[in-house]
Amino acid sequence: MIAFIVRRLVTSFFVLLAATMVIFGLTSIAGDPLADLRELPGADGERRMADRIERMHLDDPVWLRYLNWLTGLFRGYLGVNRDGQDVGVMLGDALSATLQLVLAATVLAVVIGVCVGIISALRQYSSFDYGVTLAAFVCFSLPLFWVAVMLKQYIAISFNDWLRDPAIPPTVIVVLALIAGLIWAAIAIGDRKVKLIAFGAGAAITAVILTLLSVTGWFADPGIGLIGLAILAGGTAVGLSMLISGLQYRGPLYAALAAAGLGVLLSEILTPVLADPSWAEIFGLALATVIICIALGYGLGGLLRQQAITGAVLTGLITGGLIFVDRLLQSFASYSDMVRGRPISTIGAGTPNFKGDFWQTNLDSAGHLLLPSMALVLISLATYTRYSRSSMLEVMNLDYVRTARAKGLPERTVITKHAFRNGMIPITTLMAVDFASVIGGAVVTENVFGWQGMGTLFTTGLQQVDPAPVMAFFIVSGTAIVVFNMLADIVYAYLDPRIRLS
């Protein structure tokens, strides 16, 4: 394992080195770095040109400039841009914004994409499958920048306007309820009667929830509330137990329900801690959740101890996540006031000079992250959906899945234990490839949403034929891609015992 990492790091180092050469060379010859100064008249222009020539060593050949930059890099110095600003300092500000965006988009795309893809595969040739396939194709064909501009124009601005008086018109409720009903009918398997019931129930529940939300003005002052929390956490517990061990076994079910109940109870008891926590405290709580849930699973699991522990830990973490979201939503009203009623932001990575408590600050970044990551997710989402669908379909037809069925395993176990893990193996490779395109997409998204992120560093640098910021962008993104690739390989080897990391 360690040998593998070291070897990969060494090869990656040389690969990156070669790539920097390519990029530095191409950027340096991409145009005239003095273009903007040539138009300046007289002595001033000439003086500034001479300045820049000296600063960027334009009299030296490109390879010498590259070596110069490289030696600087090994001393941890990223050089200056054409105006003499330290690129290292510029990078520091840009880095966290972009990383947030890229990670949020990747995580969301993987989780949602894989789930939708698997359901789609298990319901092959159903209307849900066809719908998802069509949606994926549309997503594949959307230009990212166009989507971003559309989201900015229509979602953000209109949504903010709507939030002033958050009532949902009855027609919208009806339409949304019908759509929800259709989705449920498409997922349900069975004859026409089953589908009709699914349609009716789905539509009715959606309509009731939406009406309630509208009447109570929920969107102006949202929150899940204790009852909502209890219902959602309980539902999670039951759903996960059904998936992991089946409801006929009591041990795992009780363990998951206990985890959910304890979580809901603690959310009340811990109110003083949760009023304005720090990230360290949140992580501490998450850790405590895991430990307690392991104990619950161990104690209540009986013969199915392993499944009980898995179920309890997952339930505990999801309940914790729900509590987190609940707290965030609770501070929505106060946050909305602080930003003059425009919570969904269209410009930048954070409100300038924003000061608030833990929840408000996080809500602020979330509000700024929402649209760019939505745009970015949309593109990768389609890829993950398609790949996990076809991967699952392929695996479901393999001999060992048939063997698993022949053993008399319930279909649930066949899917979760035998098909899922094997189906995810190619997805790890996809993640490595997709990560690079998400970084590319981030450049475009930042451009649309006016983020001062690494993408800006790259585009401005490239436009100005200024290699230092471009290289800074590449060093970070290239390293991220290499590290991500390596992680993907490690996960791959973990999932597939036939692969040895050496």
Partner 1 sequence: MTTSPKEILRVEDLTVEFPTEDGVVHAVRGVSYALHEREVLGIVGESGSGKSVSSLAVMGLLPRGARVHGKILYRGDDVLKLPTRRRRALRGGKIAMIFQDPMTALNPVHTIGDQLAEAVLAHGLIPRKQALARAKEMLDLVGIPQAEQRLRSYPHEFSGGMRQRAMIAMAVINNPDVIIADEPTTALDVTVQAQILEKLLEVKDAVNAAIVLITHDLGVVAGIAHRVLVMYAGKPVEIGDTDSVFYRPRMPYTAGLLGSMPSLETSGGRLRPIGGAPPSLINLPPGCPFSPRCPLADATCTAEEPALGEAGEGGHLAACHHWRAVAEAPDPTALFHIESEAVS
Partner 2 sequence: MTISASASGAAQGMTVVARTQGQMVRRRFFRHRAALIGMFAFGFVILLAFSSIGFGPIPGWWDKTYLTTGSLVNQGRPTLSVVPEFLGGEGIHLGEHPFGQDNIGIDYFALTMRGAQQSIIVAFIVAIVATSVGTLAGAFAGYFRKKTESFIMRLTDVMITIPILIIAAIVGRTFGDSGIVILAICIGLVTWPMLGRLVRGEFLSLREKEFVEAARAVGTSASRIIFRHVLPNTVGVIIVSATLAVANAVLLESALSFLGVGVQPPDVSLGQLIDTYRSAMTTRPWLFWWPGVFIIAIALSINFIGDGLRDAFDPRQTRVRA
- Give whole-number Cα distances, 222 to 163, 213, 218, 244, 321, in Å: 11, 9, 5, 32, 16
Backbone angles phi, psi at 464, to 5 degrees: -90, 5
**Could you say which residues in the range 132-171 bind partner 2, by CB under 8 A?**
137-138, 140-146, 149, 153
CB of 258 to partner 1, least distance (A): 20
Judge contact between 262 and 292, C-beta under 8 A.
yes
Nearer to partner 1, 252 or 343 (CB): 252
Asked if 385 and 117 count as a contact pair (C-beta separation under 8 A), the reply is yes
Binding of partner 2 at residue 487 (CB under 8 A)? no
Comparing CA positions, the residue from 409, 379, 475 lying closest to residue 109 is 379
In the block, residue with structure tokens 């110095």: 77
Number of H helices, E strands in the chain: 22, 0
Q: Is residue 58 at the binding interface for partner 2, with CB under 8 A as the rule? A: no
CB of 288 to partner 2, least distance (A): 40
Distance CA 109, CA 376 (A): 9
Residue 313 as a binder of partner 2 (CB under 8 A): the answer is no
* Binding partner of residue 418 among partner 2, partner 1, none, CB cut-off 5 to 8 Å per kind: partner 1
Q: Which does 408 bind (CB under 5 to 8 A by kind): partner 1, partner 2, none?
A: partner 1
488 makes contact with partner 2 (CB under 8 A): no
Print burial letters for 317-355: b (CB count within 10 Å at least 16), e (below 16): bbbbebbbebbbbbbbeebbebbeebbbbbeebbbeeee
Binding partner of 153, given partner 1, partner 2, none, CB within 5-8 angstroms per partner class = partner 2
Q: Report what 398 binds from partner 1, partner 2, none; CB cut-off 5-8 Å by kind.
A: partner 1
Nearer of residues 22 and 67 to partner 2, judged by Cβ: 22
Measured from the CB atom, the residue of 113 and 263 that comes closer to partner 2 is 113
The Cα–Cα gap between 89 and 56 comes to 18
Q: Does 255 bind partner 2 (CB under 8 A)?
A: no
By CB under 8 A, name the one of 381, 477, 489, 492 that touches partner 2. 477
User: Please, which residue, 303 or 499, has the CB nearer to partner 2?
Assistant: 499
Identity of the residue, 135 or 238, whose beta carbon is nearer to partner 2 in the bound complex: 135
Query: Comparing C-alpha atoms, which of 466, 451, 301, 437 is closest to residue 372?
Result: 451
Binding site for partner 1 (CB under 8 A): 249, 303-304, 306, 397-410, 413, 417-418, 421-422, 425, 495-498
- DSSP letter for each residue of 341-397: T--S--SSSS-TT----HHHHHHHHHHHHHHHHHHHHHHHHHHHHHHHHHHHHHHHT
431 binds partner 2 (CB under 8 A): no
Assess 263 for contact with partner 2 (CB under 8 A). no
Q: Could you give the 3-state DSSP secondary structure of residue 80? A: strand
Provide the 10 A C-beta neighbour count for residue 22: 10
Q: Which does 377 bind (CB under 5 to 8 A by kind): partner 1, partner 2, none?
A: none
Q: Any contact of residue 32 with partner 2 (CB under 8 A)?
A: no
Picked from partner 1, partner 2, none, the partner binding residue 283 (CB below 5 to 8 A depending on kind) is none
Provide the 10 A C-beta neighbour count for residue 115.
Answer: 13
Closest CA to 466 of 38, 45, 35, 56: 56
- Show Cβ contacts of residue 82 under 8 Å, excluding neighbours closer than 6 positions: 33, 52, 55, 56, 464, 466, 468
Q: Could you say whether residue 179 binds partner 2 (CB under 8 A)?
A: no
- Collapsing DSSP to helix, strand or coil, 497 comes out as coil
Q: Measured in whole angstroms, how far is the alpha carbon of residue 381 from the centre of its chain?
A: 10
CA pair distance 126, 187, nearest whole angstrom:
7
Choices 17-25, 63-71, 169-177, 351-359; region in contact with partner 2 by CB under 8 A: 17-25
In angstroms, give the least distance from the CB of 502 to partner 1: 15
Interaction residues for partner 2, span 66-125 (CB under 8 A): 124-125
Q: How far is the CB of 459 from partner 2 (least distance, A)?
A: 6
Least distance (Å) between residue 236 CB and partner 1: 24
Residue 410 interacting with partner 2 (CB under 8 A): no
Examine residue 451 and tell whether it contacts partner 2 (CB under 8 A).
Answer: no
Q: Which residues lie near partner 2 (CB under 8 A)?
A: 11, 15-16, 18-19, 22-23, 26-27, 29-31, 124-125, 137-138, 140-146, 149, 153, 433, 436-437, 439-441, 443-444, 447, 458-459, 462-463, 465, 470, 474, 477-478, 481-482
